[in-house]
Structure 1
Amino acid sequence: MIRGAAFGLIAALSLSACGSGDSDENPLTGSSGDSDGKTLVVGSANFPENQLLAEIYAQALEAKDLKVTRKFDIGAREVYYDQVVKGGISVFPEYNGALLAVAVDKTSTATSTAEINAELKAKLPSSVEILDSAAAEDKDSVTVTSETAEKYNLKTLADLKPVAGDMTIGAGSEFKTRTQGAVGLKSVYGVEFGKFQPLDAGAQSTLLELLKNDTVQAANLYTTDPSIVEDKLVVLEDPKNLFSSQNITPLVYKSAVDDTAKAALNGVSAKLTTEDLLEMMKKLVNDKEDASTVAKEWLSQAGLVS
């Protein structure tokens, strides 16, 4: 599921991290990662929105005269999280609810932003911390076409229970084993799909095509995907909060970020809204604009770069 170029990076990160032990040394830079003349490594997962957010972080840091190395398209959380904990990555744009439920405490029942962040601060490994969360959110969803919603009278996830056995759901491969995924759909709503179609987490455009041509009848789409509105897709309501709050939140390796870096990242969080994110994703996905250009435009409009 991981692209070839990313696989080589992951292997290098893993080898370096294994040799770092309990040291604060950054295995990518050979330094502690402190920003006084050293390099901050900004990472991203393997889907466009996260890469855009990482580019925003990188440019915000560079605007404060901090040195940055970009390590994008690494893979899913199951791959990159340990690299942040080990110090191979200094800064990562995370989604707080998924970070808690997938990587930190799979038994957590926290759903609100405040509850999630309180648990993260208490339970994260001592080498890392979260900074301020943005108002911007991008949640997982189970989404269907308007035709499928009408055919089965679907409004909420609970409505899937009697019909999901005859349906195929498409999603990133990790969705199958996640509590905020197929496992939770079964335990919380009693929903079990007849078939599961795995895709790379970055293959949202492919997933949309499979949904629209009825190869899959449901899809795990991100709620800031502009195609949801444009194609009149139906995001099924989640009354039991299976998918928790997913605020954009910087996850950082403590010894790699100083107060200047923290202020730059918190400045992004203070300005970033869900509406901003949706607008940027339209430019990125529909207009095919470059992520660095979209990031620079938003940072300028937000008054974070000159």
Structure 2
Amino acid sequence: MSPKRAVYRAAAFGLIAAFSLTACGDGGDSDSNPLTGSSSAAAGDGKTLVVGSANFPENQLLAEIYAEALEAKGLKVTRKFDIGAREVYYDQIVKGGISVFPEYNGALLAVAVDKTSTATGTEEINAELKKKLPSSVEILDSAEAQDKDSVTVTAETAKKYNLKTLADLKPVAGKLTLGAGSEFKTRQQGWIGLQKIYGVEFGKFQPLDAGAQSTLLKLLESDKVQAANIYTTDPAIVEDKLVVLEDPKNLFSSQNVTPLVYKSAVNDTAKAALNGVSAKLTTADLQDIMKKLVNDKEDASTVAKEWLTKAGLVN
């Protein structure tokens, strides 16, 4: 990875963090909207929607798209971004501290709702979510857009060990270090599933914060880790000619971008706005807006507004 792009990655993440309201509370505090300067009350007052995000740039950008789409419909929004991993934020949604959250349906099911689920396709996953989610929350329409987990290696590592699929790792993984967000170690769609489904036992695990994809890429490309859990919409995969190992046994399920909402906080207008985003957002769109954010160093709110305008969702 070039030093310039590494700087861009850091800048992009810092830029998002600058307008994000980092919080792990129950959503009961009043916040000031950092993009508009307006004051917003907490969730549950019947007037304001709290839009949350996880602690990585793509999810924060999706949350900003949701927030701006809701505001375009005249709804009041407060942003509570960069909260943490699913293990941290999910309970806040269920309890109503967060009203709206951009989720990935497969991971939501497998990590938070039913760790024993074997569903892999979009329709199957959503059907299970609708049956098994707590009664206080629901999913809305899924987008075509997906950003899946992957185990990715450099072209050099792929050539050295003849790696094309996750199954190819089995005879050599003991020599390799896998880098990933710390939660990857305890997930079925992660370290556990690699062992159970593919018989892959990595020699070492290098944990990082889930938001540290830029650091993870540096470790991968400097050979300090030989495999990494890289999100499949990361621009570096194409630009650095990284190799995403194929997953023929579907360890990593469909990961459609899907709004998860606290039922009593969202009205029909809010639902229509969020479903409107899902109807337009494609995987190609997701790759394009991430390139603008990470490589082109565009402001996240600008990227969100540009996409919403192009999609015909805002004027």
TM exceeding 0.5: yes
Q: Does 1:237 align with 2:246?
A: yes
Please give the alpha-carbon distance, in whole angstroms, between the structure 2 residues aligned to 1:83 and 1:248: 19
Please give the alpha-carbon distance, in whole angstroms, between the structure 1 residues aligned to 2:282 and 2:43: 34
Q: Does 1:175 align with 2:184?
A: yes
> 1:83 matched to which residue of 2?
92
Q: Does 1:48 align with 2:49?
A: no
Q: Is the Cα–Cα contact under 8 Å of residues 21 and 81 in structure 2 kept in the other structure?
A: no
Aligned with 2:268 (options 259, 264, 268): 259
Please give the alpha-carbon distance, in whole angstroms, between the structure 2 residues aligned to 1:143 and 1:199: 16
- Name the SS for the 1:140 alignment partner: coil
Q: Is the Cα–Cα contact under 8 Å of residues 33 and 257 in structure 1 kept in the other structure?
A: no
Please give the alpha-carbon distance, in whole angstroms, between the structure 2 residues aligned to 1:88 and 1:135: 28
Aligned with 2:204 (options 195, 198, 202): 195
AA partner of residue 13 (structure 1)? D
Q: Does 1:291 align with 2:291?
A: no
Aligned with 1:32 (options 41, 44, 54): 44
Q: Give runs of ≥4 in structure 1 deviating > 3 Å.
A: 3-8, 28-31
> 2:75 matched to which residue of 1?
66
Please give the alpha-carbon distance, in whole angstroms, between the structure 1 residues aligned to 2:256 and 2:41: 29
Deviations 1:255-300 (A, max 9, x none): 0000000000000000000000000000101011111000000000
1:248–1:31 Cα change, 3 Å: closer
Q: Is the Cα–Cα contact under 8 Å of residues 43 and 96 in structure 2 kept in the other structure?
A: no
Q: Is the Cα–Cα contact under 8 Å of residues 64 and 264 in structure 1 kept in the other structure?
A: yes
AA partner of residue 9 (structure 1)? A
AA partner of residue 243 (structure 1)? F
Q: Is the Cα–Cα contact under 8 Å of residues 145 and 284 in structure 2 kept in the other structure?
A: yes
1:245–1:8 Cα change, 3 Å: closer
Root-mean-square deviation (Å) = 1.9
Q: Does 1:13 align with 2:22?
A: no
> 1:20 matched to which residue of 2?
none
Q: Is the Cα–Cα contact under 8 Å of residues 33 and 90 in structure 1 kept in the other structure?
A: no
Deviations 1:232-255 (A, max 9, x none): 000000000000000000000000
Please give the alpha-carbon distance, in whole angstroms, between the structure 1 residues aligned to 2:93 and 2:41: 14
> 1:147 matched to which residue of 2?
156
Tell me, which stretches of 5 or more residues in structure 2 are unaligned? Answer: 1-13, 30-39
> 2:37 matched to which residue of 1?
none
Please give the alpha-carbon distance, in whole angstroms, between the structure 2 residues aligned to 1:32 and 1:183: 38
- Name the SS for the 1:73 alignment partner: coil
Q: Does 1:248 align with 2:261?
A: no
AA partner of residue 303 (structure 2)? V
TM-score where L is the length of structure 2: 0.89
Q: Is the Cα–Cα contact under 8 Å of residues 167 and 200 in structure 2 kept in the other structure?
A: yes
> Superposed, which structure 2 residues align to 1:295-306 within 5 Å?
295-306=304-315
1:8–1:62 Cα change, 3 Å: closer
Please state how far the C-alpha of 1:31 moved relative to its aligned partner.
5.8
Percent of aligned pairs with the same residue?
82
Q: Is the Cα–Cα contact under 8 Å of residues 33 and 255 in structure 1 kept in the other structure?
A: no
Q: Does 1:94 align with 2:103?
A: yes
Please give the alpha-carbon distance, in whole angstroms, between the structure 1 residues aligned to 2:278 and 2:43: 27
Please state how far the C-alpha of 1:13 moved relative to its aligned partner.
2.2
Deviations 1:198-248 (A, max 9, x none): 011011111001000100000000000000000000000000000000000
TM-score where L is the length of structure 1: 0.91
Please state how far the C-alpha of 1:44 moved relative to its aligned partner.
0.2
> 1:212 matched to which residue of 2?
221
Q: Is the Cα–Cα contact under 8 Å of residues 55 and 291 in structure 1 kept in the other structure?
A: yes
Please give the alpha-carbon distance, in whole angstroms, between the structure 1 residues aligned to 2:21 and 2:281: 31
Please state how far the C-alpha of 1:116 moved relative to its aligned partner.
0.1
Corresponding pairs, count: 289
Please give the alpha-carbon distance, in whole angstroms, between the structure 2 residues aligned to 1:211 and 1:47: 18
